[in-house]
Structure 1
Amino acid sequence: MSTPEHGLARIDATDDPASARPHAPSSPLLICEHCDTVHRNHALARGETMRCVRCGALLARYHVLNAGGMLALVLTALIVFLIANVWPVVTLGLGSQQSSATLWGIILKMWGQGAPIVAVIAAATLFFFPLNKMLMLGWVLFFARDGRRAPGFASIMKSLYYLQPWTMSEVFVLGAIVSIVKAHAYFDVQPDPGIWAYGVLMLLITVFSGIDLRSLWDMTEPDQ
């Protein structure tokens, strides 16, 4: 491990900060999690990010949303997630016959046709991981609105960090679009509300990915 040292973090501006009111830093120091370099914290304006002077890793970014705004996004995502899993994803028609399938119908079909590993991976990355991520994030944000840390805050934050790369709704949406285009040559294909809901969910999860969860440590104080 390298020896920590004090330094001024490099600030990258991607927008005009002159018209934005900078956020005051809640902690005087920032430590790079990649090289352990200690930096002096700075207020960030709209569009700015703070990077390590030694390795260039992202230390902090400006956030427009507060904890209440983030919680509203999480609740919206949970509603969309419910729609995506209740409504059919696609309807296939051949002559007078039609067949609709939900996400769980597809997963159970794969399980029954001898592909249990694929079924388990699909269930984990498309249902259990995203659901747990939204529930845990909603839990910590519910308390963060009042500047408090939720029970189990540290463990939840670690879990959110490891779950970050395992929510693959965007992969499912892109794969479904490709499959619908190819199946259209043989069947009458009708996209159902489930696939549109997954498209919206993909956008919301992309927004979540842009949120620096480390800022929740500075937004909240442990209960005394």
Structure 2
Amino acid sequence: MRDATDDLDDLIVCPTCDLVYRAPAVAARERAYCARCHTVLIAPRRKAGKQLIALALTVLILIAAATVFPFLAIGAGGVRHEASVLDTAFAFSGLLSVLAVAVLLFIVIIPALRLILLIYVLAPIIRDRPPAPHAKAAFRFSEELLPWSMAEIFALGCAVALVKLSDLAEVFFGPAAWLFAALVVIVVASDRLMCRYSIWTSLKE
């Protein structure tokens, strides 16, 4: 007999408009859309887990490299100064040290933690093994961290600021700036590739 929990497991809620559906069977490379707002609800793909892990590892490497390499150099009056994300964060002191912690937290630590949790969740699934211990809690926590993961937002914000700063001084993009640019593209690609419903379904098995 089916209990109430089984019935709830068959339901899916649109993350945009909160409309509730009974989850349909969706084949690989097909998509299920919300009838009200046309948000993609289910989009399973073969070998998506391996691709997500590869992208997550790539972003982890980019974050680590972009943190220590020079982000930009500013030249004015014959003087040129380079700075990395770490240099900028540790340049604050006193009450502003809280800002340094926030910079590292939102653009380095939280994005990296999300990716580590995602790899932890997906690694057993792609090997056709039972989910890792506490995999559901780990994936739920990684999703809760999503609004606070701002590495790509930081990159876009810096790009806008540097365009305005170029009127006052010579601005040179360092290696970290290009790493962040690549990071933005990969993060968007991985988000489009991820089917959260498929992951949750795999964790129930």
TM more than 0.5: yes
Residue pair 2:74, 2:81 contacting (<8 A) in 1 also: yes
The separation in 1 between residues aligned to 2:173 and 2:142, in whole angstroms, is 32
Cα distance change of structure 1 residues 171 and 56 upon mapping to structure 2, 3 Å threshold: closer
- Shift in Å, 1:116: 3.3
Residue pair 1:147, 1:220 contacting (<8 A) in 2 also: no
- Shift in Å, 1:57: 6.6
Cα distance change of structure 1 residues 95 and 57 upon mapping to structure 2, 3 Å threshold: closer
The separation in 2 between residues aligned to 1:36 and 1:180, in whole angstroms, is 42
TM-score (ref. length: structure 1):
0.74
Q: How does 1:69-218 map to 2 (within 5 A)?
A: 69-109=51-91, 111-112=92-93, 114-148=95-129, 149-210=131-192, 211-218=194-201
The separation in 2 between residues aligned to 1:150 and 1:124, in whole angstroms, is 26
Residue pair 1:37, 1:54 contacting (<8 A) in 2 also: no
- Shift in Å, 1:163: 0.9
Cα distance change of structure 1 residues 45 and 154 upon mapping to structure 2, 3 Å threshold: closer
Residue pair 1:164, 1:209 contacting (<8 A) in 2 also: no
| Structure 1: tracts of 5 or more residues without a match | 5-28
Give the secondary-structure state (helix, strand or coil) at the position aligned to 1:139: helix
2:48 counterpart of 1:42: no
The separation in 2 between residues aligned to 1:57 and 1:178, in whole angstroms, is 29
- Shift in Å, 1:114: 4.1
The separation in 2 between residues aligned to 1:173 and 1:37, in whole angstroms, is 36
- Shift in Å, 1:65: 4.4
The separation in 2 between residues aligned to 1:145 and 1:86, in whole angstroms, is 32
User: What is the CA deviation profile of residues 31-85 of structure 1, one whole-angstrom value per residue up to 9, with x for unaligned ones?
Assistant: 124669562522235352243x689775312435421121111111112122211
Name 2:12's counterpart in structure 1: 32
Q: Which has the higher contact order (CA 8 A, sep 6+)?
A: 2
Cα RMSD after superposing both structures: 2.7
- Shift in Å, 1:122: 1.9
TM-score (ref. length: structure 2):
0.80
The separation in 2 between residues aligned to 1:177 and 1:116, in whole angstroms, is 24
Residue pair 1:107, 1:122 contacting (<8 A) in 2 also: yes
Cα distance change of structure 1 residues 175 and 38 upon mapping to structure 2, 3 Å threshold: closer
The separation in 2 between residues aligned to 1:177 and 1:62, in whole angstroms, is 34
The separation in 2 between residues aligned to 1:74 and 1:208, in whole angstroms, is 8
Structure having the larger proportion of residues in helix: 2
The separation in 2 between residues aligned to 1:36 and 1:173, in whole angstroms, is 34
**Among the aligned pairs, what percent are the same residue?**
22
Give the secondary-structure state (helix, strand or coil) at the position aligned to 1:91: strand
